Amino acid sequence: MPDRYPPRPADRFLRWAAGAALGLLALFVAQPYLTGLLFSADTARAITARGDLAPAETATVELFARASPSVVHVFVQAAAQGRALMGVDNEGGESGGGSQTGTGFIWDAAGHIVTNNHVVAAAAQGGGTIAVRLSSGAVVSASLVGATPSYDLAVIRLGRTTAALQPLAIGTSADLKVGQSVFAIGNPFGLDHTLTTGVISALQRRLPTSAGRELSGVIQTDAAINPGNSGGPLLDSAGRLIGVNTAIFSPSGASAGIGFAIPVDVVNRVVPELIRNGRTRNPGIGIIAGQEATAARLGIDGVVVLRVLRGSPAASAGLQGVDPQTGEIGDIIVGAGDRPVHRLADLTAAMEAAGLGTSIDLTVERDGRTRRIRVTTTDVAESRL
């Protein structure tokens, strides 16, 4: 008997749509299982050919390969004072306690290593021990040759070693440009031979040292520098030494993108003197300068002579300090040679340029009048004034 009510087109569409929806739902539910079954990589993947490194990458790789054998890890243990000699206060970093670690680099084939003074200060002050781990992994004892807090530099010398020493190539800091690439190699947090990269962020920065002086011409970089990097090399793109990493500016104590390096031209002048004499001779005239912050608050542009040391070249030249009875300001040094003097760093830079035993003309303000005074520099570190 024929169907009295054949399906209408709308009913057929609804049935088709419902079937399609059920099919899609089934596929959706089964999709993870089907994907896992069909596409699982349960055997080793084929290696995709990479091609050559980019030229910049190749240059960095080659730079690290050349320079890293010259970089060493420095360990300093202060003399034991009621504590275990091998105890570690701050492994992989820098501390003011009984142990200290940092970075250094090979200066010459005789085994001289350059690092920061603050890295080896614990050994220098208390007769502690120094050990150096070379890039080969060998640990060698070392002795202190000389140190200068005024420049935060120190030289140590390796004991007997059978390894061939590879001195680091030396560059110059006289022609550096802001923006050029730099590379730091060191041991941050005890992690040996770590390479970080960046640019020169600024030049001619000033950095105070523990000796109460200021280093001028300091290099600022954004290459990551952390505790343990101190004393390590800052290199240019040719792999030459252009600075010694010495400090960071960071509220947290870790890298914040502001690191500082002693310029290599200073290093290349100071280190040979440390090797020859164990110390540096610091040209001076025998004055104690007033605080720069106080001078700035008084609107003074120059170096206030706080006190003149007895028997010094400054005393012989007639310089006058602050009157201890009335507090009246005596001399203000506003020039040295042909250079203006705004801060103590300007005066020390002029004296260093002049050298020891050299006469230098100072421009001095006293009682509102300006006069010229000639004074001869002397070794203020050696004098007994």
Which are the catalytic amino acids? Answer: 118, 152, 230
348/177 Cα distance (integer angstroms): 24
Distance of CA 308 to CAs 191, 215, 382, Å? 48, 23, 17
Q: Chain-centre distance of CA 110, in angstroms?
A: 25
Concatenated DSSP letters for 304-329? Answer: EEEEE-TTSHHHHHT-----TTT---
- The pair of structure tokens assigned to 293 is 């912050």
SS3 assignment, position 69: helix
Strands (E), the chain: 71-77, 99-106, 112-115, 129-133, 139-148, 153-158, 181-186, 194-208, 214-221, 233-235, 241-248, 259-263, 283-284, 287-289, 303-308, 332-336, 339-340, 359-366, 369-376, 378-379
d(CA 166, CA 41): 47
Q: Is 183 helix (H, G, I), strand (E, B) or coil?
A: strand
- For residue 26, CA distances in Å to 12, 21, 23, 29, 130 come to 21, 9, 5, 5, 72
Contact 87, 99 (CB under 8 A): yes
CA triple 78-126-186, angle to 5 deg: 45
For 8, 12, 27, the CA distances from 17, given in Å and listed in that order, are 14, 9, 15
| DSSP structure string for 216-254 | EEEEEE-S---TT-TT-EEE-TTS-EEEEEEEE--SSSS
How long, in residues, is the chain?
385
Handedness of CA 208, 213, 219, 224 (dihedral sign): negative
SS3 content of the chain, % helix, strand, coil (to 5): 25, 30, 45
